[in-house]
Amino acid sequence: MRDPGLLVMLLATGAGLVLGPQRWKATLAGASASILAMLATLAFVVALPADIVWSVAWAVVAAMAIATWLPRLGAALPVALACSAGAVGGGLSATVPNQLLFVAILALSTVMTAGGARRDWALAPKVVAGWLLAIAALNATLTVLPVTPGYLPDHME
Amino acid sequence: MTRARFVARALAPAMGLVAVPAAAHTGTGLAGGFVSGFAHPLSGPDHLLAMVSVGLWGAFLGRPLVYALPVVFPMMMVAGAVVGMAGIAIPSTEIGIKLSVMVLGGCIALALRAPVWIAASIVAVFAICHGYAHGRELPSAADPMGYSVGFVLATGLLHVAGIALGSLEARRGGTPAIRLAGGAIAAIGGVFLLGAVMR
Amino acid sequence: MLVRFALTTFALVGATAALAHDFWLQPVRWRLDPQRRAGLTLQVGHGSYRQRSPISASRILAFYGVTPDGRRVDLRKQLHPGATADDATVSFGRPGTYVLALETDNRAESHLPAIRFNDYLKVEGLTPAIELRARNGRTDTDGAENYSRHAKAIVQVGPVDPRGQVQITRPLGLSLEIVPESSPLTRPGGGTLPVRIFYRGRLLPGALVKLTNLDHDAEPIEVHRTDARGRAIFAMPGRGAWLLNVIWTRPRPRTSLTDFETDFSSLSFGVSE
């Protein structure tokens, strides 16, 4: 199985990492934009091919992880990335029955991570960003390798 | 920033990674996913000791390696995992894993203050071996994403645990205790290595 | 190392037990009205993976019914796999107990990474294959199989006649076949249901046979390995829809493109008390 909830949580963690070190207004704007983007996607966007959505999601996770390491980030890029995370999160959640739960996952994880990364421009978020980048790289690689992923059943003919 | 605060800072965002994994699971559950991945580094003493040693040695070496090694390791672990996922056979990765325990433990025991590039290179090579072992299992996990989150998170938290242990250096008698622990890890690694070679 | 392997394997077993996919015949109703056509689907997978089989008609070698008096009636013309409502329709004029049988060719292939293939062999009890791979030093290599399906189903037209059950307890000659020693329709919920497993005409010891309630089929409710006489004994099932299944494999010649040839066999039936 592919669990969209876990990937939504990873997106939210990435969003929190890039938003946390910003001024509180930018953090708040970014988190709000992320949630609104997710709600807008759920409300107005028709379900897209799952493989495309998942690939874009991993790219966004990786981009946020890399952005965490960039000096002098500014406010615009983190907010834009958080917004992207929310939109992609909405795409991932388009077919689940309990969509509001996934919105809550996004909101909660973003806020928790931003809070943890907020205190000072410390290197701990960069370490966590390294973990995110590793996870994104692994999963993005899995989609291009000629292997049967474990979530695909076998002996189905 | 003190190491204790670093540990706290690293754990807080990491909690965002595990906020609601149980609530996020559907269908057949997390078995074969996050739980299996998380358990994988913890259930093997060789993996576990090597990960803690990376954090411990990094803490001993101080800035920037206390932060750099826990970043280098996951990155190179991914490289090894990709090779494992692709089914490319690398001989002797198991020996590499056992060797990592002995070498990293030895570096701690000997209080070896290696230059940044040497320390990073040593950790990178061993990370490839560890990553290869995870990567061999990853594609067949019922939930490869959950599995990858699990073992990357467990690996990172073990590094953080090692860094936390390394903070004992500042206490009275801390350095000898850490070096003694390193010696014990190296000895255990030697036993592992002997077992792997003799097999 | 052993603990890590055990933990991972256990977790994978827990997760992949539903992934070793069985195939069976599922009538819309297990009790048919005389002369009235009834639909039947070809099912594969359990739990959340359960679905109609995507198999094409060209791969089905035989589909027939065995009447209460032992005659075989060819039902191939009643097959229409992939149709909207069902995959076949059957009708029988006379009351009695009928056995439906379907066999496919072995052109289906499965290619799995080593760890998953080993797990599948372990879950399905294919111990000889595990041992063969270990002897040949191929435990860490990916596994490839050709596999075929051999499915039987028991349907009842009219009331059950306890004297008319012999077609259930007699082998039909399938490559891999589950043959009950007594009919599950005559003593529902009481006593035991012994079954014999035949593989290419001979009794098969050491095979893992599973009994699953098709109304709650995520996991089997009973699992037994056949004894030296190819026999496994289950508690007689009560009311409901049931599936017995077994898998067996044998190595293919070294020149083959796959390593093993595997047979999946099932017997499905419905019990009403």
**Mind listing the pLDDT tens digit for each residue in C104-127?**
999 999 888 777 888 889 889 999
Task: Report the gap between the CA of B50 and the closest CA in chain C (Å).
Answer: 14
Residue C48 Cα, gap to closest chain B Cα (Å) = 7
| Residue pLDDT, tens place only, A76-93 | 999 999 999 999 999 999
pLDDT at position B87 is: 74
Residue with tokens 């390193």: B182
| B120, B72 Cβ separation under 8 angstroms | yes
Give the orientation angle of helix A99-118 with respect to helix A4-19, to 10 degrees: 30
pLDDT at A153: 75
pLDDT (0 to 100) of residue C218: 87
Of A9, A117, A130, the CB nearest to B75: A130
Answer yes or no: are the C-beta atoms of B171 and B65 closer than 8 Å.
Answer: no
Question: What is the phi-psi region of residue B27: left when phi exceeds 0, alpha when psi lies from -120 to 50, beta otherwise?
Answer: left
pLDDT digit string (tens) for chain A, length 157 residues:
577 888 999 999 999 999 988 888 888 989 999 999 999 999 888 778 888 899 999 999 999 999 998 887 788 999 999 999 999 999 999 888 888 889 988 998 898 888 887 765 467 788 889 999 999 998 888 777 766 667 677 888 8
Return averaged pLDDT per consecutive 10 residues of chain B, 199 residues in all: 52 45 25 79 91 93 88 92 82 90 96 93 95 82 82 92 88 89 95 88
| Distances, alpha carbon B135 to alpha carbons A2, B40, B81, B86, C80, in Å | 18, 11, 4, 8, 43
Task: Report how far residue A96's alpha carbon sits from residue A91's, in angstroms, rounded to the nearest whole number.
Answer: 10
Which residue, among B111, B101, B103, has the nearest Cα to B60 in the 3D structure? B111
CA distance to partner chain A, nearest, from residue B180 (Å): 28
Quote the number of domains for chain A: 1
Residue of B197, B7, B178, B165 whose CA lies nearest to B105: B178
Mean confidence (pLDDT) of chain C: 89
Q: Do B23 and A5 touch (CB under 8 A)?
A: yes
Query: Would the CB atoms of B46 and C8 count as touching at under 8 Å?
Result: no
C78, amino acid identity? Q
pLDDT at C273: 63
pLDDT at B170: 80
Which is more confident, B145 or C235?
C235
State mean pLDDT over C44-57: 90
Amino acid at B100: S
Nearest to C14 among B32, B87, B139 (CB): B32
Give chain B as a DSSP string.
Answer: --HHHHHHHHHHHHHHHTSSHHHH--TT-STTTHHHHHHHHHH-HHHHHHHHHHHHHHHHH-TTHHHHHHHHHHHHHHHHHHHHHTT---TTHHHHHHHHHHHHHHHHHTT----HHHHHHHHHHHHHHHHHHHHHHGGGSSSHHHHHHHHHHHHHHHHHHHHHHHGGGGSTTHHHHHHHHHHHHHHHHHHHHHHHHH-
CB C133: neighbour CB atoms within 10 A? 22
Of A1, A147, A155, the CB nearest to C110: A155
Structural domain harbouring A97: 5-142
- Give the closest-approach CA distance of A141 to chain B in angstroms: 7
Q: Sort C224 into a burial class: Cβ within 10 Å, 0-12 / 13-18 / 19+.
A: middle
Residues A70 and A81: their CA atoms lie apart, in Å, by 13
Closest approach of chain A CAs to the CA of C148, in angstroms?
Answer: 9
Q: What pLDDT sits at residue B143?
A: 78
- Confidence band (pLDDT; 50, 70, 90) for C49? confident
Query: Beta strand pairing status for C260-271 and C143-157?
Result: parallel
Q: Are B91 and B120 a contacting pair, CB within 8 Å?
A: no
Question: Tell me, what amino acid is at C183?
Answer: S
Report the C-alpha gap between C121 and C116 in whole angstroms: 9
Q: Is A154 on the interface with C (CB under 8 A)?
A: yes
Model confidence at C190: pLDDT above 80 = no
Judge whether C113 is closer than 8 Å to chain A, CB to CB. yes
Report the chain A residue with the minimal C-alpha distance to residue C116. A150
CB contact under 8 A, A1 and B28: yes
| Side-chain-facing half-sphere of C85: CA atoms under 13 Å | 8
Angle of the A4-19 helix axis to the A76-92 helix axis, nearest 10:
170
Contact criterion met (CB < 8 Å) for C4 and B142: no
One-character DSSP codes across B87-98: T---TTHHHHHH
Q: Is residue A147 one of the residues assigned to a domain?
A: no
The mean pLDDT of C182-203, rounded to a whole number, is 91
pLDDT for position A120: 58
Query: Hey, are the CB atoms on C7 and B43 less than 8 Å from each other?
Result: yes
Check: pTM over 0.95? Answer yes or no.
Answer: no
The ipTM (two decimal places) reads: 0.82
| Residue bearing tokens 């017997």 | C267
Size of interface A-C (CB pairs under 8 A): 43
| C264 contacts in chain A (CB < 8 Å) | 155
Does B33 contact C15 at a Cβ distance shorter than 8 Å? yes
